[in-house]
Structure 1
C-alpha cells in the first residue's frame, strides 16, 4: 500500500524536506537515481554497490524499504514532521513500526499535506498546497537546495557509473570475441594435429616407461596432446606428425618433442604447457628449435678459437669470413652451426685448404671438427 508524503522540517538548518511513505515506485523503475536527486548520497552508493555484488537482486528489495530508511535518516538528522493530521500520522506510524517526531505535539490537528495519495487524501493535498503557497509568498521556510559540493559529488558519481557500465559492456564484448576466437582456434589447431598418432602408451610395448612414470602415466597422455596443440599454434609448423615424451624427462618435469611435416621441431616442458587449457585453448605460440637465438659474434669468435687450438703455433690461419662462411640453426636440434673455409700456412710456406664445422648447443656447449678441402 502506498501512503502520502510527509513534510519534515529541521529548525537547525532552516530547511524543509519531503519524504514519501510506503512502496517506492520511482526506486523500482529508476534504481538509485531518486536517492541521488534527493541528495541522499549514502543510499545512492549503497544501492549501486549492492546491485553489483548481488547481481541486481537488491534492486527488487530497496523499493520496499528505501522510503522507510530515508525517513529514519531525516529523524536522526533532527527533522520533525509538519503539516500532517494526527489521525493520518498515527496510521502511518502503525505501518512504519516507529514513532515520528512532530514539530508541535500539543496541536491535535496539524495542517495536512499529501502527494500522490489515494482518494481519501486528495482534499488534504489541496488544502496544504494552497496554504504552503501563501507561506512561501510571505517568506516562509524554503526547501533545502543542493549545494555546489552536492552537485560535484553527483557528477563524479555519475561518471563512475558510466565508466562501470561501459566496462561491463566492453567485458561482454571481449568475452564474445574471445569465445569466437576460441572456437576458431579449436578448429584450426585440431586440423593441424590430425596426422599425429596420440594413441595412449600401452604397458606391454613400453614397460620401462610404465615402470619409471607409473604415477604420472595419465599426466603424460594429457600433456602429449597439449604439446601437439601448442606446437600447432606456431606459424612455423604446417602439420604435427609426432608428439612424444622426451628421454630428457624426469618425474618432476615431463618434457616433449614435437615434429612437424615441414621438418620443424619443438621441445616443450611442463612449464611451457601451463598456458594450454584442458579444453585445448593455447594462449601463446612456442618457438621452434630453428628460432633459437644465438650471439653470432660470440659464436664466431669461439669457433675460430677452437680451430686455432688445433693448429700448431707456427701455422698461420686465414679464414674466408665473407664468401667462405655460412651459418644456420638446425631445425631438428636447435643447435647453431657454422661452416667455414680457411687456409693454413706452415713454417715452410706451404699452404693447405681446410673446411671446418662448429656446433653450439642451446646449453652453451660447443664442438668443432675440420677436414682438408679437395680444391
Structure 2
C-alpha cells in the first residue's frame, strides 16, 4: 500500500475543509470497500479523512412523515431500525442480503452508496480498465462478462454497480443530501449515478469534494408491502447476478401503485419506469407482470455470456410481484 496521512473529522464543515485542502484525499467511513481497493492499488489516496465521529448516525422522522437516515448510520443499525422494518421492509431485506454481519457492523450508508464495481478487470491493476484508467479500454466486452451489465452499458464499460441497498433506495425515491464548501445540496438517488457513456470513470453527479450527509425516504404507503429478492451464485454472502426491489399496492385485483428497481444489470441501480407505467392500473396477475418485465427488458443489450440475465430478471420480476399480489389478496 502507498503510505497515506490520516485525520479524524468531528464536524461536517471541518471534514469538507480537510478534503478540499488535499485533492488526493478520500473520506473514510467503514472502509469495507475503500481499504480493500487501497490494498490492491486501485485507490491510492494521499490522505484519509475519517468521518465516523461526525454527528450523522441517527435515523429520524421528517416533518412530512418520511425518514432521514444519517450517512454514518451502519448497515446493521439501518436494517434493525423498527420504523425501517415496519414501513420500508424492502430496505431491511436489501441490507441483510448485502453482506455478512461483521461487514454490516462496519459499513455505513454513505459509503455503501459510493462503493465501486467488483468487476475483476477494475480490481486488477495489471489489466486495462476505462473506469480506472480512462482511455485504456474495457477488456470485459470481449473477456469475462457473465455478471456484467445488460442495460445502459456502452462499449467503454459494462461493469455493474454492486450495492443492494441502493437498489431498494432507488425504488423508494430516496434523496441524497450532501455538503460542500459552497454549502448543502440534494440529489434524487435516481440522479446520483451518471450514465456510463464514454466517461465511466465519472461515476456520480456529486460536486467535487462533496460529503454525503444523509439519505431521506419520502413517505410511501406502498412500501409497507415490499420485497427485495436477490439471486447469487452461492448460498453464502455474494454479490448479486440479478436482484429486484418491488413495492406493490393492489385494490380489487388492480395495481394501484407500484415501485420497481433492478440490481446487478447496469452501472447503477436501474429504476424500471417503463414497467411501472404498464403495471399501474392493470390487472395484478402473472401475465401483466411478465408483459411489464418484457417491456422494461426490451432495451437490454446483453453480451454473449450474460444473455441469461434477461430471462433471469423476467422470472424474478414475475415471481416477486406475484408474491406481493397474493399477499394483498389475503
Give the TM-score range, shorter chain: under 0.3
When normalised by structure 1's length, the TM-score is: 0.22
Larger RCO: Structure 1 or Structure 2 (Cα < 8 Å, ≥ 6 residues apart)? 2
Larger radius of gyration: 1
Decide which structure has greater helix share.
1
When normalised by structure 2's length, the TM-score is: 0.25
